[in-house]
Amino acid sequence: MGIRAYFDRIEPLFEKGGKYERYYPVFEAIESFAFTPKTVTTAAPHARSFVDMKRIMTYVVIATIPCILIGLWNTGYQANAAIASGLDPSGWRAAIAGIFGYNPSNPLANFVHGLMYFLPIYIVTLAVGGFWEILFATVRRHEVNEGFLVTSMLYTLILPASAPLWQVALGISFGVVIGKEVFGGTGKNFLNPALVGRAFLYFAYPAQMSGDSVWTPVDGFSGATALAVSASEGYQALVGHGITWMDAFIGTIQGCLGETSTLAAMLGLAFLLATRIANWRLIVGCLGGMIAFSTLLNLIGSDSNPMFAMPWYWHLVLGGYAFGLAFMVTEPVSASHTNMGRYIYGALIGFMVVMIRVVNPAFPEGMMLAILFANIFAPLIDHFVVRANIARRAKRHV
């Protein structure tokens, strides 16, 4: 109560006409982080819906909790397993984690070791991205939108644990400034800011953002990711590399911090659907597009490309498909907004992710590029859907 009273006492200093009027966005950002605001959003950035923005963002962050928990455990498990196999631990993270031992069968040791990689990345993301958010809000004289809380969490979860912190800062800066703020801020961006930052790092620093050894943060570790194995040897070879479908579904395989567990992503998606934050038409479209096109490629077959044989249920659990389906495809700002457009938008992503994974050997993942590609076409999809509806209604009145 004392802190609340303190904020109420100094608030007039930051309001219009106050001594620190210029810095109201900074005050509002700190107050909103500590307390529920006294007002709710009733207009843009979500002009198509009058649901409170803070409620939406809070629910999305809650939905990521299963991915965070399994991601922490799996990151630590992969690192401890590599150390237990004979590799030497190095760095301050390993030193702190070593207090609890490097036993991959010890859940606490795995969580702590994973936390040593998650926390620095998240703190850097929050600090650097928050700086840009507050700077633009101060210059434009508006409140800091809560949308960055979701962007920062999603961006962290789609990064490899071994990402250098300076690259983390560079990526989130690009995502926030170029992916969102230059278009007017939260609600006016047509691309997903978290994916824009990740894509920038992918193309600017491919050695750190792709490859074999990047996923397990232990010096000297080498091993191909599941999609890399599938692209070179076929998905049937995954069992020989110690990866079963259930391993991929639960999330006990190499991958980015929060993307490995399909189970965790589906739990988060169920929560978003139950609270009506996510639109089910986007999910149906994305799953339908992926299942239909991957099944078609299975029927066509290929003697030279083993990815043609990968069935849809393997596409579902490998790479970032499930995470992207739950948290990126359903992102309301950059997706289509008409009901029919949502089906088409989702189907386009499902089609493109399989196309990229199977046909383009340079990008074994595909989900990031597929979503960004669909983001660009979302307004055009809605335009043609609206025009088709107008033409259909016009015919009825002729």
Residue 327 confidence (pLDDT): 95
* Domain presence at residue 88: yes
Q: Using CA atoms, how far apart are residues 377 and 371, in angstroms rounded to an integer?
A: 10
Residues 157 and 302 in one domain: no
Task: To the nearest 10°, report the CA torsion of 7, 13, 15, 18.
Answer: 180
Residues 175 and 278 in one domain: no
Alpha-carbon distance values, 21 to 9, 11, 18, 28, 55 (Å):
15, 10, 5, 11, 27
Quickly state the pLDDT bin for 64 (edges 50, 70, 90).
very high
Largest CA distance in the chain: 79
Question: Could you write out the DSSP letters of every residue in 63-92?
Answer: HTHHHHHHHHHHHHHHHHHHHHTTPPP-HH
Token duo for residue 310: 């990968």
* Domain presence at residue 242: no
306 lies in which domain range? 267-398
Count the domains in the chain. Answer: 3
Choose among 202, 228, 230, 270: nearest CA to 65: 270
Q: What is the CA radius of gyration of the chain?
A: 22
Q: Using CA atoms, how far apart are residues 140 and 176, in angstroms rounded to an integer?
A: 15
Residues 213 and 294 in one domain: no
Handedness of CA 263, 266, 272, 275 (dihedral sign): negative
* Domain presence at residue 245: no
Whether pLDDT at 385 is above 50: yes
* DSSP structure class, residue 256: S
Q: What is the pTM of this model?
A: 0.85
Structure confidence by residue, pLDDT tens digits, 250-294: 999 988 999 999 999 999 999 999 999 999 999 999 999 999 999
Length of the chain: 398
* Domain presence at residue 252: no
Residues 119 and 81 in one domain: yes
Alpha-carbon distance values, 338 to 90, 281, 282, 343 (Å):
52, 10, 11, 9
Choose among 149, 182, 188: nearest CA to 47: 188
Q: Using CA atoms, how far apart are residues 101 and 113, in angstroms rounded to an integer?
A: 9
Token duo for residue 105: 């069968």
CB atoms within 10 A of CB 327: 28
Percent of the chain with pLDDT over 90: 52
Quickly state the pLDDT bin for 2 (edges 50, 70, 90).
confident
The letter for the amino acid at 110 is N
Residues 130 and 70 in one domain: yes
56 contacts: CB under 8 Å, gap ≥ 6: 46, 277, 332
Task: To the nearest 10°, report the CA torsion of 44, 45, 50, 52.
Answer: -120
Answer whether 57's CB lies under 8 Å from 151's CB: no
Residues 141 and 285 in one domain: no
Residues 129 and 13 in one domain: no
Answer whether 367's CB lies under 8 Å from 326's CB: no
What is the rounded average pLDDT for all residues in the chain?
86
Residues 275 and 181 in one domain: no
Long-range own/partner contacts, residues 133-137 (CB < 8 A, 24 or more apart): 133/29, 133/176, 133/181, 134/25, 134/26, 134/29, 136/177, 136/181, 136/185, 137/25, 137/29, 137/185
Residue 101 confidence (pLDDT): 86
Tell me the average pLDDT across 11-26.
Answer: 72
Residues 32 and 50 in one domain: no
Residues 52 and 172 in one domain: yes
